[in-house]
Each structure stands twice: as structure tokens, then as C-alpha cells.
Structure 1
């Protein structure tokens, strides 16, 4: 149903996670204290009452006082008041309260300076202080805060590292003992969701739902995001169940905003299933509610769905008016709308095609191709970010396993030493035997891997040879078709031959199968291509793969179902995207990858 269905980041996500960050970013817990403590002028001493508060609540109340009084005051005033809090904590011998001062100072610089070395250093001090003073829960919370610090500033790889460390620390304490554990899981879910790592996002949300949730809206938002994840995986019936739960909860809570969001999401499912008559009223409601609450991007997405429905009904004039409205809605958008523009241009081209205006259709088709290429670059950058994050995850897990192994080894060292004395001679003889066996095993494994690689390489050669034979068959089809056309043969016969020829051209399914074999022989090639030439589309990568196999222009043309002249032009465009010098050929550029 077109690219529109793949790119919706709905109203629900921004509202839900915006609320989560507002309530929980940089604080261990949140208490509604505005009715307990008056707002102070920053020239007074706002923490004077802390000594009269029970130890269990000091950290939370001090955090609330800081947020309401000191977060946006001049630096000298804020630091002086927080230093006073340190002195109070030392007088009370309250290590938890003393540790939170580092966290609050880090928050102050993060809020006022964005990315800065002060916050990084202060978070480290907070974590170290909590660890040294046996406050594991606070150490976990400060690790989580540092993860949010890096995530909010788009340092995703570093954020991933701290989120992993935080969850390991929470696990050691016991998730059930951590206040607001649901919120911490939700924050990490947001992180994974925005990187497109939906499986990990779902795991985090399912974990979040196991723990107490303070606000009904938070629960609704989590369930809604689970529906979005199912929708992204085209599991529409399961997604519909989640969205229906959201609608029921929203109606029970009399939350009109979430009623509107859930209605729109239900409409999107019916739309994806092709049940347009069911979808239309839901989508119309979504459009109207989005406009009402100023969510122009979401309104535009809903409107484009209505355009598609009208286009199927041949209401072309109405479609064009709606598309003009869509362009006005996103005209001054502060967020990236490349995906929406791509759909608008595509739909306008379809409209003008239906109206019999090929020149106008061509203009918008060209705009569509340009924005589609830009969107591909944007998606490639995001994909690289996910790869980097996955590397960090794997590296951290390996490091954790290594440290656990070392800990187990230390615990058993005395027992092992005793046993070694008793069985030293026996071990020596067995070790020699084991070394021989290991050597034979390694040689056997090497032979197996060599044979496997040899077989895969042979399979790739066979597959490539099959494609080349297929090309010859396509050439014969073309010759017969040309001959029949010259003889004015029956058009149905020509059409039948053309269909047979198309059946031998490489399809997307054939390409995926071919790519699996290719990657086994050249495991790093496709990764290096995307890393070194990030602006390339999937079509460009396919062409580079065939060039790697030294296929001729004619062979590539047959395989891709275009002319040899089309291949030459595609190579010229490819050179520009790869930014190659005139004295370097494409073959030379990829030979080192």
C-alpha cells in the first residue's frame, strides 16, 4: 500500500514518552510536594527544612526543592545552595542525601549547558560515591540518569552502554525494590524504539508493565506502543487488540486525547488490512482530533490515508485538494518530514496520471525520486547507528560474562590450588593428551570451515552461472518478441512471451536468496559498502554487488530488467553518489572493500 504505511510515528509516542521524561528524568523518584513545601526565592536557603524530614524522604524532597527553585537560577547561586545541601547531609550523616547532590549538579549543567564535561564528571562522582558507600540502588539510578543524559543529546552508543550498566545494577538490587522501575524500563524502551530496535523495545515495555505504574496515562501509552510495534511488524490483528485495549482504558479514564489517538490507530489497522470502508470514519476522526490538538504531522499522515482511499474511488479532484492541504500542514514543521513529502509527491504523481496529465505527473515523480533518495540516506544513517549500538550491547555482554567468570574463578581459587597439588602429575599427563586432542579438533574444525566456505563459493559460482544462462534465455525471448512484432504477430502471443521473459528477470525474492549466498562468501562487503557510501539506495547496492561479480553491462541489464543504456546511466549516477574522482573506476573503488 505504498511507503506511507512504514513511517508513522504517531501522536501517542511523543506524548507518552514526553510525559515520562518530564516526570522521571534526572530524579530517583517523583513526589507531589508542591502542597507541602512553598516555592522559595533563590536568595533564601531552600534546604533548611531537610533536617526535620524523615531519612526515607530526604532525597526525594531535596530533589523536588532543587527542581522548583534552583534548576534555572544563576550558576553561582545554584552551586552555593547545593553545597549547603552537602554540608547538611554530612551533619546528618546521610550518605544517600550527600550522593544526590552530585546528581543534581549534573542535572543543572545538563539542563543549562546541554552536552558538557561537568555533567559527565559529576555523574561519575555520584556513581562512585554511591558505590563506595554501599548504596547500590542509588548507583543504579545515577547510571540510568547518565544514560538519559547521553540519549537526550543523541549520543546513542554511549547511552546504550549506561542503560545496560543501569539494568545490571537494578537486577543486582532487585527490580521490585527500585521505586519507579516501570518508568526506568519505559525510558529504555523509548531509546530502543526510536532506534528501530522493536524487539528490545517490546521486552522493556513488557517488563515495565510488571511493576507499579503511578498514572493511568502511562499504562495506556505503554500498551499503545506495544500495538505500534506489532503494527510495524505487520501483525495487524494483534496490533488491533492492543489498540482496542487502549481505547477501552481511555474511555474508562474519560481521556479524550487518548480516545482520539486510539481511534486513529484502529483506523490505520483497518487501512493496512485494506478494509477501507471501516477505516475511513476512524481516520477522519484521527485527522480532526489531531488538528484540534495542534498535531499537524499526525493530521497530515491521517489525511494522506484518506487521499489513498479517495484515489481508489477515483475522487481525483478531491485528492488534489487534500494533498494541497497536506503540504500546508507540514510547511513549517520543526521535525523531519521527508517521509511525508515522499508520499505527497508519489500521490500527486498518481493523481495526474489518472487525470491524463503525464507532464505534471513526471514533475512530481521526479520530486518523489529525489526525496526518496534523501530518505534512504537518512535511513542508512539510522541503520549505522543501530549497528553501532548492537556492537556496544555485544561488547558489554561479553565483558559482563568475563567479569562473572573471573569472580567465579576467584571464589574457587583455594579449592583449585589444593586439588592441583594432589593431581598435578595426573593433570600433566592428561594435559598433554588434551593438547593433542585439541590440536586435532582445531584442525578438523578448520577443515570443516574450509569445506563450508569452498561449498558456499561454489554455490555462488553456480548461482551466478545460472543467472548468466538465464540471461541468454532472456536474449532469445527478446529476439523472438522483436521478430514477432516486426511480423505484426498476434499481440496475445507477444504479451505471453513478454510475461515469460519477466519471469526470468531477478525478482526481489531472487535477490534476497542471492544475497544470502553472496554474504557468506563476502561477509564484510555489503556492510563496508553501506559504511563507506552511506547515500546509496538498495538499488545502488544491488548494482554494486553485480559489479563485484564482474558481470557485464548486458548481463546486469538482463538481470535487472532494464536496457544496457540504463545500466550505463545507473553507473554514472552511482559514481556521483559515491563521489569518485575521474581517474578511479567503480570497480577499483569497491575492490578494497
Structure 2
């Protein structure tokens, strides 16, 4: 292009107008061609730059997506770990509660077993005491009958010995007779050995009196009419009548 321009200037100087026009035309044609090439390069450069930016944006978007996915997986992993930790804590807490509950239950069972053992021992002692009391009542009754028989035999033969036997009999009767205080103590032991027996009898048969309860308790111990008469300080006939009245009360209530 520069060469064509120079030749055009030389031809103008030489006065050769036709050659000048040819060189000038060549100059303009080369100039247009050069400018066109330069424009194509700029367009190509812009296209390359656009593709490069598009590629970079794609890479950046892919990286951001990868980072988001990684963070999402990390978040899900942390959540799963927390859930697993919470489940483990709840399971351990539940195990601890169950263990404590079992421990408390075992303690209560031991306490109940110990309490039952004490109650059994107490009940055995009370049974033995009631049995001893019943045996003593029978023995005292036999002794009283024997003393009374001796009084009948010696009433006229030996007044001094009769006085001694009478004193012994009276002392034994004072110890043997069931007073109100002795009845309350006896009833306490009786209720321990036969729980709710007298209470249930009173509830089932509202007409029974406290004296009726005495007879019911003595009948429960399988004492004879004679033993009950000495114990209650009444005659055998009075005991029979009391038992008949009690039977009548029970029958009326049942009817």
C-alpha cells in the first residue's frame, strides 16, 4: 500500500497522469483490503473474547454449583450427625431411666420383701402369743375346775385348807377374767392374727354388740362353753344363752 502511494506521487511528479491513477487506484484497493482484514481480526477477537468470557462464566457457574452441592452435602451430613447424636442421647437417656426405674423397683421390692418378712415374723409371734393365750386359758380353766372340785370335797373336812384353796381360786379368777382392758389387748392381737374378721362380722351383722364380738372371737379359738364362762365371769348357762341370742341375730340378718 505504501509502495503504491509512493509510485503515485512519482508518476504525478513525472506528469504521467494515467500511471498515477493506476497507482492511486491500487493504493486505495490495498488500503480497503487492509482495513477489512483489520476489522475481521477485531470481530474475531471480540468473538474469542466473548467465547472466553462465556467459558469462564460456565466454569465459574460450575464451580459455584459444585460449592453449593458440597455445602448442601456438608449440611445434610451435619444434620444427619446431629440426628444420630440426638437419637443416641435419647436412647442412652431412656436406658438410664429404665435402669433407674429397675433399680427403684428392685429397691421397692426389697423393701416390700423386708417389710413382708417383718410382718410375717410379727404375725408368727402374734399367732404364737394367741396360741399361748388360748392354751393358758384352757389350763387356767382346768385349774379352776380342779380347785372348785377340791372345794366341794373339803368344804366340811378341812376349813383351813379350804380357805387357802378359795384364796388361790379367787387370785386365779382375778388373773383369768377378761376385763375390758384385757379384752382390748386381746382384740388387738386377735385382729392382727385374723385381719378384719371382727370388723367384717360387725359390717355383715350390724346388730352384734361388743359382747357378741367377744363370743365370736372365743368361738374362733375353739374354746368350750366352760372356758368361756370362766373367762367372761358368767355361768355356763349364760354362755349358752348368749350364743343362742347371737345365732338368732345372725340368722335374722341373713334373712
TM-score (norm: length of structure 1):
0.25
**Partner of 2:143 in structure 1?**
473
Matched, 1:426 2:105: no
**Partner of 1:560 in structure 2?**
232
Q: How many residues align?
A: 163
**Partner of 2:213 in structure 1?**
541
Deviation at 1:578, TM superposition (A): 2.6
2:195 match: secondary structure: coil
- Tell me if the contact between 2:144 and 2:169 (Cα under 8 Å) persists in the aligned partners: no
- Tell me if the contact between 1:485 and 1:494 (Cα under 8 Å) persists in the aligned partners: no
**Partner of 2:12 in structure 1?**
none
**Partner of 2:180 in structure 1?**
508
Q: Which moved more, 1:456-465 or 1:439-448?
A: 439-448
**Partner of 1:439 in structure 2?**
109
- Tell me if the contact between 2:147 and 2:165 (Cα under 8 Å) persists in the aligned partners: no
Deviation at 1:542, TM superposition (A): 0.8
Deviation at 1:520, TM superposition (A): 0.6
- Take 1:550 and 1:471, find their aligned partners in 2: how far apart are those partners? 14
- Take 1:556 and 1:448, find their aligned partners in 2: how far apart are those partners? 33
- Take 1:436 and 1:497, find their aligned partners in 2: how far apart are those partners? 58
- Tell me if the contact between 1:557 and 1:564 (Cα under 8 Å) persists in the aligned partners: yes
Matched, 1:496 2:164: no
**Partner of 1:571 in structure 2?**
243
Deviation at 1:564, TM superposition (A): 2.4
Deviation at 1:474, TM superposition (A): 1.3
After superposition, the Cα gap between the structure-2 partners of 1:463 and 1:519, relative to the gap in structure 1 and judged at 3 Å, is: same
* Residues 53-72 of structure 1: pairs in structure 2 closer than 5 A: none
- Take 1:558 and 1:489, find their aligned partners in 2: how far apart are those partners? 24
Deviation at 1:486, TM superposition (A): 4.3
CA RMSD of aligned residues (A): 2.9
- Tell me if the contact between 1:460 and 1:517 (Cα under 8 Å) persists in the aligned partners: yes
Deviation at 1:453, TM superposition (A): 1.9
After superposition, the Cα gap between the structure-2 partners of 1:434 and 1:559, relative to the gap in structure 1 and judged at 3 Å, is: same
- Tell me if the contact between 1:484 and 1:494 (Cα under 8 Å) persists in the aligned partners: no
Deviation at 1:519, TM superposition (A): 0.8
> Per-residue displacement from partner, 1:206-237 (whole Å, max 9, x unpaired)?
xxxxxxxxxxxxxxxxxxxxxxxxxxxxxxxx
- Take 1:429 and 1:546, find their aligned partners in 2: how far apart are those partners? 52
Deviation at 1:458, TM superposition (A): 1.9
* Residues 334-353 of structure 1: pairs in structure 2 closer than 5 A: none
2:206 match: secondary structure: coil
User: Could you list the runs of 5+ residues in structure 2 that have no partner in the other structure?
Assistant: 1-88
Matched, 1:484 2:166: no
> Per-residue displacement from partner, 1:426-456 (whole Å, max 9, x unpaired)?
3333333333333333333332322222222
> Per-residue displacement from partner, 1:257-294 (whole Å, max 9, x unpaired)?
xxxxxxxxxxxxxxxxxxxxxxxxxxxxxxxxxxxxxx
- Tell me if the contact between 1:481 and 1:497 (Cα under 8 Å) persists in the aligned partners: no
Deviation at 1:557, TM superposition (A): 1.9
**Partner of 1:449 in structure 2?**
119
**Partner of 1:281 in structure 2?**
none
1:477 match: secondary structure: helix
Matched, 1:519 2:191: yes
- Tell me if the contact between 1:460 and 1:518 (Cα under 8 Å) persists in the aligned partners: yes
- Take 1:486 and 1:533, find their aligned partners in 2: how far apart are those partners? 50
Q: Which moved more, 1:549-558 or 1:476-485?
A: 476-485
**Whose radius of gyration is greater, 1 or 2?**
2
Deviation at 1:545, TM superposition (A): 1.0
Deviation at 1:525, TM superposition (A): 1.3
Deviation at 1:518, TM superposition (A): 0.2
After superposition, the Cα gap between the structure-2 partners of 1:542 and 1:431, relative to the gap in structure 1 and judged at 3 Å, is: closer
User: Could you list the runs of 5+ residues in structure 1 that have no partner in the other structure?
Assistant: 1-419, 585-593
> Per-residue displacement from partner, 1:358-400 (whole Å, max 9, x unpaired)?
xxxxxxxxxxxxxxxxxxxxxxxxxxxxxxxxxxxxxxxxxxx
- Take 1:536 and 1:485, find their aligned partners in 2: how far apart are those partners? 41
After superposition, the Cα gap between the structure-2 partners of 1:440 and 1:492, relative to the gap in structure 1 and judged at 3 Å, is: closer
After superposition, the Cα gap between the structure-2 partners of 1:555 and 1:446, relative to the gap in structure 1 and judged at 3 Å, is: same
- Take 2:188 and 2:97, find their aligned partners in 1: how far apart are those partners? 46
Deviation at 1:497, TM superposition (A): 4.1
- Take 2:157 and 2:238, find their aligned partners in 1: how far apart are those partners? 27
With CA pairs under 8 Å and 6+ residues apart, which has the higher RCO, 1 or 2? 2
